[in-house]
Structure 1
């Protein structure tokens, strides 16, 4: 079942921020700052303005200079900077961002606007606005199952928002996180958007070799917090089951509907028992809670094994040279107003292609929290590139001005890809040409300048499917193009449109012979005739 769910930019952003902050600072109170309340306060942000800068830096190994792809990547991305100069969050489902991406060769400005049903992106150098539709938007084939799944997902999302489960979820996380070894809180003032703000300044450092022990402690704490865990499961039950129950009981959410006859069989009995158990909230919550708790124990054992094992790649990356350093500034209402976080990843062994460390720095500021803010909408009009199931990166690349910086970067990337990607050898098929009266299932013949070859042979060589119905043959190519042929007709119907073949299919006994050049080229081949060797050659790129 294919399903495209409605996306909410802020929802994923706030959870990413919460998890990052919680992992770095823990949850216990320090220096008058209640970290629990401070971390949870971010969930109450409904509107704001802000800015952010994300920068990337590579530290090279003095004993081994990068070469090949690593060198090209460093030359392109070293000291790259993504500047979100103006973030305007009007609501949790409507926001705009303007900024620029700065690389070694220059800067590329962009604008973004996100609403509940779509996201629009304008990039300097691209002639068309890029539109990412949300919901059932054509990115995948849509059938009744997709529509039902989308309907269920939207109803669950609405009830989730109505119940306010975010806070329960977040409380479970932050209440059980231990503090890292290095953490301190001081009070003072800080300049935020040209304004002096009274703040709590939290500084912390988390080294890579602390992460797995902290994670083990966190998971163990979760397994002990039965009351909060069950509360969360119960709230999720109240969100999911009332929505799903009608679909389950009429059999819509599984492949074997429970008909009256099924109820007397094993399948029907099992499914009916599952539905009965799910209908009993206390029982259902106990079952789910027990399952999740067992999963946490398995995760605890797996992480402990990683922590104790020697020579595994995870511990290689999470050494004492890998770290996260943060400075977080909370105002007196415990809202995070400013941050400066540096993440450095430094593998300790193995082949690192001459890269000693990758350093990511993220700086943010925000203001006008929960005040009226108007997002800068983008009007795409008719001049837009819609990302759907029929679009591709190469289609979009055609809308880019080749003289722009974006166009130059794309050209460089494509050239590098072409230079490093081996070109596959073409597959060449040959079919011997014989007199018409001698033709069989593995040979062809020429009549009035047109070559005729067995359709079954062409389909087998070129990976197509053929279905016969009397004097009609339907071919389905590897990329799902449908070709319809009729005996005696020189017209082929391809995806509903008629094309002349230059010859008509005919029967030799039970075998179909078709105009070879036309059919083979529609199946993705290049056809030539070797008169000296009396054979038809079909070349394909695999």
Structure 2
């Protein structure tokens, strides 16, 4: 049986909270169905929240220095959101801090439907991540047409409106957890005294397995509910899928793929046919899963979900069915801790909300002094770009580069012998009179660099965002420059099968990387700390 990571287990147990909650139609004075519906009717609000991750190390584990360094960092992490503001479904801001050990890093984040903007201590300017960038395209280019962007915006709004119906399907069919209760409680939120009903839920990983089986069994009996559930998803996603297919068809050469489109689109146009087909398919699969659940599904997740994992939550719900406060604790005892060093994991989170569906204005970030576009010209988001945007003296830079070593890279490439046939889809290096020639775009992008090709001058420009180093090569020339300094190459840059090849030592050393060679395997190694 394959071993599952503790992060996978944490994700499953966190999901259990939403699943367990969905199964409680009425608990005491709390109508959980209305509480779920109300959560998706929040268009604007203010709030605060925090989440803490704590690891307990197994003292008997034998760890490498790198493993111990990572574990020391992860022993206690905390994110505090001191002030969150949701102005609309697509416009929000957060102010808070990220803490590890004795360090604390403040940040300010704004989110719109077009981009994320992050101001964080250590960054030289606000950092921007655009939505819809084209990999390899020019800065500001879009991968989505105007119509597709419109469809996505409409999808976001429609998804919120559809969530109560979708959640109602789970509320109807999911069994109640064993431990669930409700009682009156008066709490203070943002200085205001609020009368609430406190909903308390407890789950273990083992219990969740039986709840899931009960849910699937109930779904099989709820034919009408399943069809309505599929119908809501159809109305929600099919308009976007059809527009996406049309966009793909329009981007292809005339006649390419038109036959497939002609087959797919009529099926999507007929909702009754599509829903009936999906319903029949899902029901058949569910029958197979339920019939063999204990033997297949149940046994396969016992190492992931069992009584060594527990989830507890308290939700404070006001008279309008809005959750005004929540407190959640996830506990996981990990098997084989001597191997990975982590004995147990605890995640705690709290949140409060106020000014729900009232006028809220986000806190904007000042970008008048310019921004750092992390996607750049290539549309690629890399660790090197992010770390390169930070002040080398800042705590965040030292954490990411020195402690976590997120920019550490290693590229291994097999060099085929002359005449040897390669089965790789990637461009392969080759030996030219004792000089290993490598595909410059592939290698530099593995090292998080930006690559530009100028057809007019036949020049390749390589920019390393981490160091700021700029190397320029000219096709069929032995001369190159690094930060303006001219260097002589062992072999000229050449074009082979549409790929530019350069001497491996030049491209590596221009990016502060090292080159190694293993004779037995005919492999070239490029490493950067």
The alignment's TM-score, normalised by the length of structure 1, stands at: 0.70
Preserved CA contact (<8 Å) 1:237 1:285: yes
CA separation of 1:23/1:139 partners in 2, compared to 1, >3 Å: closer, same or farther? farther
| Alignment partner of 2:280 out of 272, 290, 294 | 290
Q: Offset of 1:217 from its aligned partner?
A: 1.4
CA separation of 1:248/1:308 partners in 2, compared to 1, >3 Å: closer, same or farther? closer
Q: Offset of 1:73 from its aligned partner?
A: 2.7
Q: Offset of 1:133 from its aligned partner?
A: 0.8
| Alignment partner of 1:27 out of 3, 24, 29 | 24
Preserved CA contact (<8 Å) 2:73 2:100: yes
| Alignment partner of 2:366 out of 375, 379, 387 | 379
Preserved CA contact (<8 Å) 1:24 1:206: no
Look up the match of 1:494: 459
Preserved CA contact (<8 Å) 2:60 2:338: no
Preserved CA contact (<8 Å) 1:24 1:326: no
CA separation of 1:25/1:207 partners in 2, compared to 1, >3 Å: closer, same or farther? farther
CA separation of 1:391/1:197 partners in 2, compared to 1, >3 Å: closer, same or farther? closer
Preserved CA contact (<8 Å) 2:478 2:492: no
- After TM superposition, list the pairs within 5 Å mapping 1:197-276 onto structure 2: 197-241=194-238, 252=249, 275-276=265-266
Q: Deviations over 1:257-296 (max 9, x none)?
A: 879xx9xxxx95x875655444333222211222233344
Q: Deviations over 1:21-47 (max 9, x none)?
A: 342463231111111111221011111
| Alignment partner of 1:54 out of 42, 51, 54 | 51
Q: Offset of 1:203 from its aligned partner?
A: 1.3
| Alignment partner of 2:157 out of 148, 161, 169 | 161
Q: Distance between the aligned counterparts of 2:416 and 2:211, measured in 1?
A: 61
Look up the match of 2:504: 525
- After TM superposition, list the pairs within 5 Å mapping 1:336-351 onto structure 2: 336-349=323-336, 351=338
CA separation of 1:216/1:153 partners in 2, compared to 1, >3 Å: closer, same or farther? farther
| Alignment partner of 2:189 out of 189, 192, 196 | 192
* Partner SS for 2:229: helix
Look up the match of 1:279: 269
Q: Offset of 1:62 from its aligned partner?
A: 5.6
Say whether 1:45 aligns with 2:35: no
The alignment's TM-score, normalised by the length of structure 2, stands at: 0.72
CA separation of 1:458/1:324 partners in 2, compared to 1, >3 Å: closer, same or farther? farther
Preserved CA contact (<8 Å) 2:490 2:503: no
Q: Distance between the aligned counterparts of 2:458 and 2:267, measured in 1?
A: 55
**Which ranges in structure 2 are unaligned for 5 or more consecutive residues?**
1-12, 420-429, 445-450, 462-471, 480-488, 495-499, 507-522
| Alignment partner of 2:352 out of 365, 369, 372 | 365
Q: Offset of 1:208 from its aligned partner?
A: 1.3
RMSD of the alignment, in Å?
4.4
Q: Distance between the aligned counterparts of 1:170 and 1:252, measured in 2?
A: 35
CA separation of 1:351/1:296 partners in 2, compared to 1, >3 Å: closer, same or farther? farther
Say whether 1:399 aligns with 2:396: no
Q: Offset of 1:339 from its aligned partner?
A: 0.7
* Partner SS for 1:379: coil
Moved more, 207-216 or 293-302: 293-302
* Partner SS for 1:221: helix
CA separation of 1:76/1:250 partners in 2, compared to 1, >3 Å: closer, same or farther? closer
Look up the match of 1:462: 437
Q: Distance between the aligned counterparts of 2:383 and 2:361, measured in 1?
A: 32
The structure with the largest alpha-carbon Rg is 1
* Partner SS for 1:86: strand
Q: Distance between the aligned counterparts of 1:196 and 1:97, measured in 2?
A: 24
Preserved CA contact (<8 Å) 2:47 2:85: yes
Preserved CA contact (<8 Å) 2:97 2:106: yes
Look up the match of 2:10: none
Look up the match of 1:445: none
Preserved CA contact (<8 Å) 2:438 2:503: no
Look up the match of 2:106: 109
Look up the match of 1:335: 322
Q: Offset of 1:407 from its aligned partner?
A: 2.5
Q: Offset of 1:351 from its aligned partner?
A: 4.4
Q: Offset of 1:99 from its aligned partner?
A: 0.4
Look up the match of 2:85: 88
Q: Offset of 1:370 from its aligned partner?
A: 0.7
Preserved CA contact (<8 Å) 1:526 1:540: no
CA separation of 1:323/1:57 partners in 2, compared to 1, >3 Å: closer, same or farther? same
Look up the match of 2:302: 315
Q: Offset of 1:235 from its aligned partner?
A: 3.5
Q: Deviations over 1:363-399 (max 9, x none)?
A: 1111111111111011323532212125532233233
Preserved CA contact (<8 Å) 1:24 1:324: no
**Which ranges in structure 1 are unaligned for 5 or more consecutive residues?**
1-15, 432-440, 442-454, 465-474, 486-491, 505-514, 528-538
Preserved CA contact (<8 Å) 1:318 1:347: no
Q: Offset of 1:139 from its aligned partner?
A: 4.3
Moved more, 86-95 or 75-84: 75-84
Count matched residues.
454
CA separation of 1:331/1:523 partners in 2, compared to 1, >3 Å: closer, same or farther? same
CA separation of 1:81/1:525 partners in 2, compared to 1, >3 Å: closer, same or farther? closer
